[in-house]
Each structure stands twice: as structure tokens, then as C-alpha cells.
Chains A and B, each alone.
Chain A
């Protein structure tokens, strides 16, 4: 399916974001269509997380407009927030509550039908069934990461924003997540992944957007055939070199 035939899901028009003297996002424009699967790569501090925070409506852009499902996020964010799932560096979980209590709290805020069933399905999928009644502060970093992913997928969002989703995950869980994302992509979910592990873009056959200094420097609609080709393209696009 070509981009022209698809629905425009996220329309980023000339957005900029400043933090004191630093420009985090610099006049960035980018159209994302329904069902797109995009990997965002770029050096540390290039603006990937800030961009995710703007799309998830945590931050407002200082300049430019962001439309999600044709609604301006500045004025209509309450209508689109339940369509977005954002897995951030932060776990967004209360450490003194158990995993189940956290998920029930979030699930009730999102008005999820068959919540218990959904929690059971996801905790089984991400191998957390045995930890469901444990307080978050007793879990390891890897388990918390899995819990964060469950929390993100809980309300079955149409748009997924995953910031470093593979970090802290063991190999088994990385495969589970990749399989899960393939399934989600098949049902036309829009998925944006920010990562330094560029192999995921080849494995998931994603589009690739290279971001540097808050600007989109390269957009590949098809992934290159190999990681080495991608690394070459990445190096040429940046001054700073290949990501770790």
C-alpha cells in the first residue's frame, strides 16, 4: 500500500521545542500514516525522546503543530490520549503497589473491557504471571521493563511509541516483544520505535527515520538489506558516527 492511499495518522508540521538555551526539536516535519512501522535512530540527545513526549502529549511543541488523527494535540489532547501507548524510560508504575494493582488502576482509568482477561493475557505473554502479585519495588530492572510494556499495551492503543523497548530485556523477552510487534503491525497499528539497537529495524522490516540535532536527516521507507548497509547510511547522515 502506498503512503498516498493510507490514512494520515500523525502529522508533524514544523515543530520546534526548546529547553532553556538548547534546541531539542528543530523545525521538524514528518507525516506518519496508519499502519506505519518506523524505527527512529539517532545519537544521544538528538531529540528522539522529546519527539515521543510531544507525540504522547506530555509536552507541547513551542512552535509548529502536531495533529494526531487530524486533531490538534494542543487543544484536543483529551480526545486522543487513549489512542496512544507510550513506553518511556520511566516505568510509569507505582513501586509500592503490586503489578496487578498497577495494571488494574491504569486499566480502570482507560475504561478497558474485560480488564482481568487482558491483564492475564499480557502477563502470560511477557512471562510475568508469577510476579503479578509482587510489589514493583521487589522486581528486577528487566522484570520492570516487561511490566512497563504490559502497561503500555494494556489498553490496546492504536499508536505505539516505544522508547528503547529492548533495553534491559533478556533475549527470550526480546524475541517475544518482536513477535508481538509483528502481530500488532499486521492489524494496522502505527508503531514508532526509538532505539540504538538498529538490528530491530531489519528484523521488523520497518521504515527508518534518522534524527540528529532535532531534525529529520534521513527517511528510508524500506529498510536496507543488511545492518552494515544501514550503518553506512547512518554514518553518512550524521557527523557523529554509528550508534552503539
Chain B
């Protein structure tokens, strides 16, 4: 068991080291996310008195599309450097490889959100620094990455992976998107839900994460084996 966790840690550390040197994922993703929220801000500033009803939707869209850039790089980096085979013939469990990549993706997507959130909060005049919002953002990040990591290995071998990734990823994340929209609507008082409804929607987010944290590594191992 110790070896299992140490393999996961080795993969995360290796990927972070490469990312810190090349910055080939985090900088393009952050720039894309920044441009997205700026474009939304400019285009909506003429017709709206308040951003409160649309701001969270914009945040979700920005993070969802940014995550596609991160997931696309996740395994394509291994394939471009011809190293996936090296990992697959090493004695590590293939699901340890999945979890290593998952934690790496969570760290990168989490970092992008951390850097972006103050700019977003200023532009859209919204306070997203509340404990409830933090829980929702953590659950969302885990949900997006747990599904995305598996899809990244499916699309990594495909020459049209940039097109394929959103086509596969977004439909399967619809329950997650509904959960985020409902919870944030209640949190920001945009609908009349009470705290028990909020808990139910948070439970939906937790269930989504739990299901995909079990199903995704299994699917990943089957894909890798075949």
C-alpha cells in the first residue's frame, strides 16, 4: 500500500517538475480563462445592471472549458515524449497512474482557479470566498478532473483529440453542471431553495465525484490494457 501511494506521489511530482520548467499547460490555460472572463465582462456590461444572475454561470463555463485544455495535455505529453509505454511496462498499478494524473490535474485546475478568482471577483462584483463556495469549487474540480483524466487517455491517441475531448467530456458532466448551478443559485439567493435543498444538491455533487472516482480508474485500466 505504501508503494502504491509512493508511485502516485512520484507521478505527481514528476509532472509538476516538468510543468514548472515548461509552464506549457498552466500559462495557456490561465490566459484562456482570463480572456474568457474579460470577453464575458465586456460583452455583458452593456445590457446588465447587475452581474449577479450570470456571474456564476460564466465562472462555470470558464472553468469547464479551461479544464479541457488541461486534460488534453495530461496524457498527450506522455505520448508526444513516447513515455506512456515506459509507465505501462513499469511495475506500478495502472490505477496508480490514473490517480497520479488525477491529482496533477486537480492541482493545475485548482491553481488556475486560485489565480483567476480575485480577478473574477473584482470584474463581476461577487464574493466567492465563502466556506460553502469553497466546498462547491473543490467538489467541482474533483468531478471535472475525475472524468477528464479518463477521457484524456481515450483521446490522447486520437489526432482530433482537441475536438473530441469537449464532445465527450461536457455531456457526461451535465449532472455536475446542474448541481453547481442549483447550489450556487441557492447560495446567492437567486432561487428560493432552503438549506436542506442546498445539502441535497451538495450531496449530488459528492455522489457524482464518488461514482466517478470509482468508475473512472476501472475504465482507465480497461482502456490501457486494450
Contacts and interface: CB of A to CB of B under 8 A. Distances in A.
The answer to whether A and B belong to the same complex is: yes
A104 to B, nearest CB: 9
B138 interface: no
Interface-centre pick from B10, B17, B90 (highest chain A CB count, 10 A): B90
A109 B83 contact: no
A96 B82 contact: no
Interface residues of B, number: 23
Given A92-B82, A94-B14, A101-B17, A106 B89 contact: no
A92 B78 CA distance: 10
Contacts, number: 61
A94 B87 CA distance: 11
Given A94-B18, A96-B21, A108 B85 contact: no
A105 B85 contact: no
A86 B22 CA distance: 28
A109 B81 contact: no
A90 B85 CA distance: 9
Interface string A81-103: 11010101011111111000100
A97 B83 contact: no
Interface string B72-90: 0000000001110111111
Contacts of B18: 94, 96-97
A81 B91 contact: yes
B39 interface: no
Nearest to B7: A109
A68 B18 CA distance: 35
A94 B90 contact: no
B91 A91 contact: no
Interface in B93-111: 93
Contacts of A90: 82-83, 85-86
Categorize the interface residue count of chain A. Answer: 20 to 34
Interface string A63-94: 00000000000000010011010101011111
Given A93-B83, A94-B81, A58 B91 contact: no
A163 B89 CA distance: 16
B92 to A, nearest CB: 5
A56 B86 contact: no
Contact of B93 (A78, A88, A105, A106): A78
B17 A81 contact: no
B6 interface: yes
A96 B7 contact: no
Contacts of A106: 86, 90
Contact of A109 (B17, B21, B85, B90): B90
A91 B85 CA distance: 11
Contacts of B225: 60
B46 interface: no
Of the candidates B3, B10, B85, B89, the one having the most CB atoms from chain A within 10 angstroms of its own CB is B89
Interface of A: 53, 56-58, 60, 78, 81-82, 84, 86, 88, 90-97, 101, 105-106, 108-111
21 contacts: A53-B85, A57-B89, A58-B85, A60-B226, A78-B93, A81-B90, A82-B90, A84-B89, A90-B83, A90-B86, A91-B82, A92-B83, A92-B86, A96-B18, A96-B21, A105-B14, A106-B86, A108-B10, A109-B90, A109-B92, A111-B91
Q: Which 9 A-B pairs have the closest CB atoms?
A: A92-B86, A90-B82, A82-B91, A109-B90, A81-B91, A96-B18, A58-B85, A108-B10, A105-B14
